[in-house]
Amino acid sequence: MHQRMSAMHSGKALTNAVFRFVLVLVLPAILLLIMVKGLEVTNHINLPVVDVATQVIQQDGKPTYREVSLPHNYTLGSGFSYGQYSLVLPKAGGDTTAILLPPFRDTLAMRTGGELIWQTAPVAYSRERMMPRFRYQPVYHEFPNRLFDGENLAVSIDIGSSGGLRLPQIYAGTPEEVKPVYQRLYWSQIGVHKVMLWLTPVITLFYLMLWWFRRQNSEYLYFALGTVCWAMTNMTFTISNLPISQHIYWMLSVSFQPLLTLFMVLFLHRWYGIQARKLEYVFWCVSLLLVVASFALYEWDPQYIWWRFNESFLRGFVALSAVYIGYILLWQAYLRHSLSALILAISGLVGVYAGVLDSLDGMQLLDMYFPLSIHANLLIFLTLCGLLMYRYVSALNKSEELQKTLEDKVVEAVKRFEQEQSIAHESEKQRALLTERQNLLSDMHDGLGSQLVELITLLRVKSVGREDLQLKAQQCLNDLRLILDSRNPLFETQFTVLLGQWRSRIEPVLEASGIDLVWSLDICDEEMHLSAQQKLDLLRVFQELITNTIKHAKDATRVMFCCQMESNSLHIQITDDGKCSEEQDDSDHGYGLASIQSRVKRLGGQCHFQRGTSGASTEMIIPTGKEAGNRT
């Protein structure tokens, strides 16, 4: 079953490939036939026509006359042809008679009675004086009726051309009748080409800018350069005069043909991603060599050697390049299943077919009065321009879609991040709350709990006085208040307020013991970076020192509390004027000094005790910088 399905799939793919191959080969021929029928507009001209003329042939210095039908083709087979004809133009009504010549590729001059009355361009009478052909443009001219002899005007026509020449039919009538036909012919033949030539600078600049901003896409650069070369090779078809000599005018348009094929090959390689660097190097070398040789030979012998070089080497290279371009288009249309490859192959083969027919016409093997290559080239460039624009717009749309997709993903990621942050914040909040509860329980256990145990122990001892019990109960209450105050958010950044709360509680106790409190405070809350636990430890140190003063300083009448901030540190001094007991002579014991030393050390500070018969003094230095708040 699997092998059968694989065979069916292979057969379908082969049928599709053959269909595309046949379509690419046949459709260009059909389009070219439609182009030929569209260009044959002379079959629809309803004007009086001169279709008979007398050809004058010089033989041994004697003229020979032969009646011919127009249009008439004539060649001398020497690379240059010159002919003389005589015919009669009919007179139209009114003051002026207008004539119309369909597109032809030769230079023509009309005379009457030996006097020149009109010419399309200076006529060459030999190869040495050959001028560029007035190529494939319809011609319109008006003659005043005073030139006519009755109802007719007998004229002689001189016509010259490189290669074979062609005298077309001549249509006559009033200007009102002839001019609309001429305008229709003009725009159907070369009008679009002239518009494209005028747009060439804009198109070139546009694609050069695209290449400048997207330098990885070098196909834009080669298309812009190819557009310039196409305009140069198209000059003799669309422009009849330039501010340069006619020879240079003709030579430039021919010499740019190898560069045109070079840039088209490079464009197709970049367009389809073909890696052929060595072949591109060969194209570069041969193209530049042909261009330089064309200019050099033109300066050396423009009449014979340069012309033969143009007809052989230069045209041969262009023909081989066209074959290679056709091969690329066919092969890519076969390999790729994209509509752009199919369209480009069809338009490219239209140009190849048109070039073959124009070559046969140049060798007098076909009878065509208009070129096909120039129209086919226009079709190719319009197709390329459209495909490049389509690719650019598609890239922009894809970029916008990717940007929108990226924005959606970013929004989704931000939402997910916010949700995760919210969860993490809630988890951190719960963890902080649990930590705070644990710290609170630990503080109550270590401080208040131990003091309550001590109070219960004292209650069991009958010899303990009431004042001692009351003092111990007051210490328990003050410790509880210290714990609660240190957790109050209002005092988190206001250590001075926290000290004020502690003072308001300790001062009545001192007064009840007959001790006055001297208070000195000079600190800045913004420079205090202590945590809640550190503030509690510091207040407990203060509380323990005041308690020791009340309990052990005999005959004390004054306690001085001084707190100042210097260099990110608190300098604290607590002194009293009481007398110490004689049995306490070690500075590290008694009055809970061991507990005080432990708390100060945990705060990263230093503590020094002094006592004597005239009083006791405690000095402490506590760091308050940002690093202090991170100390555990």
Return the pLDDT at 365: 62
Give 250 or 29, the one with higher predicted confidence. Answer: 29
- Structure-block tokens of residue 426: 């809630």
pLDDT digits (tens, 9 = 90+) for 204-239: 888 888 888 878 888 888 888 888 887 777 665 555
Return the pLDDT at 3: 55
Reported for 482-490, long-range contacts at CB under 8 A and 24+ positions apart, including other chains, are: 482/447, 482/536, 482/539, 482/540, 482/543, 483/440, 483/443, 483/444, 483/447, 483/448, 483/536, 485/539, 486/532, 486/533, 486/535, 486/536, 486/539, 487/436, 487/440, 487/532
Residue 132 banded pLDDT, cuts 50, 70, 90: very low
- Structure-block tokens of residue 201: 């600078």
Residue 128 banded pLDDT, cuts 50, 70, 90: very low
What is the rounded average pLDDT of the residues 62-81? 75
pLDDT digits (tens, 9 = 90+) for 366-424: 666 566 776 777 777 788 778 878 878 888 888 888 888 899 899 999 999 888 888 88
- Structure-block tokens of residue 14: 């082969």
Residue 149 banded pLDDT, cuts 50, 70, 90: confident
72/47 Cα distance (integer angstroms): 19
Span of 228-232, 452-456, 516-520 with lowest mean pLDDT = 452-456
> Quick one: residue 552, left, alpha or beta (phi over 0 = left, psi -120 to 50 = alpha)?
alpha
Return the pLDDT at 202: 83
Does the domain at 488-629 match CATH 3.30.420.40? Answer given as no
Taking alpha carbons only, the member of 28, 45, 607 closest to residue 355 is 28
Give 367 or 183, the one with higher predicted confidence. Answer: 183
Span of 104-118, 175-189, 289-303, 314-328 with lowest mean pLDDT = 289-303
Return the pLDDT at 114: 84
| Burial group, residue 265, by CB count within 10 angstroms (0-12, 13-18, 19+) | buried
Report whether pLDDT(544) > 50: yes
Q: Is the dihedral of CA 483, 485, 490, 495 positive or negative?
A: negative
Report whether pLDDT(487) > 70: no
Report whether pLDDT(585) > 50: no
Residue 34 banded pLDDT, cuts 50, 70, 90: confident
228/234 Cα distance (integer angstroms): 10
Return the pLDDT at 370: 65
Return the pLDDT at 348: 82
Strand order from edge to edge, sheet including 96-104: 49-50, 170-173, 96-104, 137-144
Helix (H) or strand (E) run with residue 551 in it: helix 532-552
CB distance 255 to 313 below 8 Å: no
What is the rounded average pLDDT of the residues 333-348? 82
Q: Spell out a b/e string for 121-141, using b for 16 or more CB atoms within 10 Å of the CB, else e.
A: bebbeeeeebbbbbbbbbbbb
Residue 283 banded pLDDT, cuts 50, 70, 90: very high
304/283 Cα distance (integer angstroms): 26
Return the pLDDT at 229: 83
Instruction: Tell me the pTM.
Output: 0.56
Phi, psi angle pair for 521, to nearest 5°: -135, 125
CATH superfamily name and code, 47-183: Galactose-binding domain-like (2.60.120.260)
- Structure-block tokens of residue 360: 């046969």
Residue 588 banded pLDDT, cuts 50, 70, 90: very low
